[in-house]
Every structure is written in structure tokens, then in C-alpha cells.
Structure 1
Amino acid sequence: MNIFKSHFWYNKSQRNGIFLLLVSIIILQIIIFIDFSSEEKVDLTTPRTLAFHKKIDSLKLITLEKRKPKIYPFNPNYITDYKGAQLGMSLNEIDRLLAFRKTGKFVNSKKEFQKVTIISDSLLTIISPYFKFPEWVIKRKENTNYTSNSKSFYPKKVKIKISTTNINKATAEDLKTISGVGEKLSVRIIKYRSKLQGFSKENQLYEVWGLDREVASKVLKVFSVLELPNIQKTNVNTVSFKELLKNPYIDYELCKKIFEYRDEVAELQDISELKNIKGFPLNLYDRIVLYLVAK
């Protein structure tokens, strides 16, 4: 007991101090209770409060509008799963469009788009202003040169007169009349023709870089070698290394072999002796000798 007594034994002045502390705590608690209980309630229905909330709501709408992805004009025939989801289309609506496109067909109006996808009128109204169809689709109703088939609408081909059917005299404009031959390919064909000094054989057209074999065949159905070009031939026994390299069918390695053979035999008596060179490309012989003679 003496141990605990030392903890609870206070003199008079200490007891007075503790008493005053307790009184102060009680008074402070009463003040806090009265202050909170008498707090004035805010009226949320006043015009000023309602205007404030309306302003906050408008700012929220502006923020949400800015977060929406911006839609640019697009061809609805090429909508992907991601693009369709952005536009608000369902998976079924997107799948219907993709299945339709796999058949090789195209939609060419917003009505056709709705017919294929079965989207709602409200969604069509929102996204159709951004539809961008090819220019010929837009003009097909105004131009009588346009017709349709079971897959889509295609413009009638207007026949363009060509200046010649001689492939060695055909212009770039003549060549562009062939389906698949555009500006770049027509120029490339003419440049290669110049390099060859003219086409001697029709199958040389297949050597043009980037020209699809099928397209080349279309060209040869219209254009052909009507007369052989006047090719300046060089003497294989006197030609320089640099000049021989200008032959469109001779590369550096073959040029080197020809010179080594020429040094070995002193002089070629006949151009056919080129076939005796080890590693000579026999499949190119008839083209290489278009530019060489042995005199």
C-alpha cells in the first residue's frame, strides 16, 4: 500500500491545481458543444447557391467534351474494331460491316451503311456527317459516265486515243492508258527504253523495275516492237572497260571476265566466242550481243 500511496498523495496546493484544471476542461467542453450545436445551417436552395452549382456543372461538361476524341472525316468502309468502338458502335454492328466488306463489296451512302450495320437513327445522325466517300461516288448521280455492278459503283472507262502502238515510240501518256500504269511507271518504262536504245524484244519490258508481270502483259497486248531500234554496236576487241560497262546486261564481274578472255585469245574472231567464257550468262547472250560485234 505504501508503494501506491506515494502516487496518490498530494498536498493542498497540488489538489487545488488539479481542481482548477478539471474545471477548465469542463468549461471548454461546454463552449465547444454550444458552438457546434448553434452552427447556422446553409440553405442549398438559394438562387446564389443554385447558380454556383450550375456553373460547376457547365465546367464539368466542357472538360468532358475536351476529353472526347476528335473525329475527322473518314471512309466508313474501312472502320476497324477500335474506330467503331470510338464512334459508339456495338460489336455486332462492327462485325456486320466487316463481314460485308469481306465479300468485296462497298457501302457508298449513309443509307447503305445503316442497312448493312443496322445502327440506330440517332447514332447515324451523329457519325454520318464525318463520312467521306471517293469523289467519283459523290458525282456518280451527276455524271452519266458512271455505272454500277453487283459489287459497287465504278466509273465507265473513257477510251483515250493513243498516238501509236509502237512500243519504241509510245509516249508516257500513251502508256498511262493501260490499267496499272501510272505516272511513275510510264516514266520508268521510257527511261529503261532509252537505256536499251529501244526495245529489240518485247519480253525486255518485263525487265523494267517495279513493273508487275501482269501489267506488263497488258501493255504488250496494245504495244509491240513494230520495228527494230537502231542500236550503236561496239567492237568487243577494241572497246574500253568503261564503255563495255555501259552495256545494260554486263556488270563489273562479267566485264572483267570478257577482258581477261580477250587478253588470253588476243582477239575474238566471232562474237559467239563469248559463250566460251567460264561463267558467262548464256541466258543473256542474245541480249548482250545486241550491243557488241567482233570485227
Structure 2
Amino acid sequence: MNKIKSYFLFSREHRSGIFLLFGIIVFVQLSYFFLKNQLVSNENHTEDKAWLLVQNEIDSLKHIQATKKDTIYPFNPNYITDYKGYKLGMSIQEIDRLHAYRKKGKFVNSAKEFQEITQVSNAFLSKVSPYFKFPDWVKNKGAATSEKFPKYLAKEKEKIVQKDINFASREDLIAVYGIGEKLADKILLEKEKLGGFVSMEQFQFIWGISPEAIADLEKRFAVKNSIGIKKIAINDLSQKELAKFPYFNYSIAKEIIIYRTMNNGIKNVDDLTKIKGMPNEKIKIIALYLNF
């Protein structure tokens, strides 16, 4: 019993050592507690700061989107495409009325005439008409002599037999108003790359051809034969092969591969519009070169 009791009897040095050890333990625990809280606080502060920066960026993008206005550049309303009309805010019926009028070989020569043909609202006309850009001969036709009118209008009464654009020679193209040797070579090179043209609308996307030249082209030529046009199998070709198609590039080809993989293939034109980067203003033309 005395032996056991001796274990619980401490000298002054022992008691001092025990209290010192106890004090060290308490100090370490408190230090750990405060240091941990400080680290958590700093981490939270860093996260809050990072999130605040992200939120500020989001708010900034929202503000830009809310205040963003589409820039409208001067254009000839006679050559409004489906995509251009849609971007301007025209209805399908209004666009179709304009296209039906143009198919007759007629031109809109004023904002008032544009409204009469398309039946757009006064509000729409007042918004877009300041950007209408008609040829100089239209503006000056009241005082113009016959010599001042473009060649293709002076020959308007001439009986023109339309040729197939895919069989047009270099000389045939040079005879078109506004097309010289360089543009004729450019058109022939484009035809060679595509295997042939599928629509006269394609000339709107060849840089350097003026609206007046396009009008004369449409009078002299039409797409009558699609022999030689090689359609591409959009669901079978590799990315490298797709990128060779003139209306695609490497980036679009990559998006095509991704879309068709995730959606069990591309089935129709509507699917094309869902592909990132696809030039929607050319989509009707592109579709004519594809096999789905």
C-alpha cells in the first residue's frame, strides 16, 4: 500500500515539471486553434476575393450584352439575303416579297419603294432606311443621260439568252458589267474548287463582285446543270477531309465531328444550324453540296 501511495507523492521539482508540461500543452492547443482559424479566415478571404472578381466580370459582361447594339453598315436593300433580313428584323413574308420582286428582274430604287414591295412597318423603315445605299446612277437618274447609266442597264432591252454559269468561259465572264480579267479568273478558280456552282447566290460571297455585277450575272447566267459537282458525305469524312471543303475550315470541321458523334450523325439542314461556327448565311448553299 505504501509502495502504491509513493507513486502519487511528488517533490516540488516534480510538481513544477508537471505544471510546466501542462502549460506547454495548453499553449500548443491554443496556438493551434488560433492559427487554424487564421488560416481558414485567410483562405475564405482569398476565395471571396476570387469570387468577387468573377462576379464583377460576369456583371460587366451582362452590362455589355444589355447595352450592345448591332452595328448596321450601309447596304443595297436589293441584295438582302434571308440571313441579312432575319438579322435586320424582317419577317419571312417580307423577305419573300422582296425576293419575288427581284426574281422578275426589277430593282428597288428608294426607301418608299422598298416599303411598298415588302410591306414593312413605318417603324422598321425609319430604323433601317438611313443605311440604304443605292448606286450613284439611281441618285442621279433625274439628271443623268443615257451615257451615264451602267452598261448592263443600257442593254436591258436586248434579248439575252441565259447560259449555264458552269459552262461560262473566261470571255463570257469578262463581258459582264463590272467583271474584269482578275475577277473572271477568281470566279473560275472558285468553280474549280467547288466542282461547280449550285446557286447564283454564291456570287454574293465572292469578294470584289459589286451588286451591279451580280445583277448582270443573274441576267446572263443561271445554274442549269450540276454535272461535275461532287457532294461530300458529311457523316463519313474525316476532319482533315471536311476542312478541304471551301465553305468549311479546320475549326468548323472539328465542330462537325463533335456534333455528329454526340447526336448519331447530321440528318438535315436544321442540324447544320446547331453546329458551332457554321456560316448560317451560306447554309442553304452549303446543304446543296452535302450528302446526309
Same fold (TM over 0.5): no
Compute the TM-score of the two structures, normalised by the length of structure 1: 0.41
Bigger Rg, structure 1 or 2: 1
Greater length-normalized contact order (CA 8 Å, ≥ 6 residues apart): 2
Compute the TM-score of the two structures, normalised by the length of structure 2: 0.42
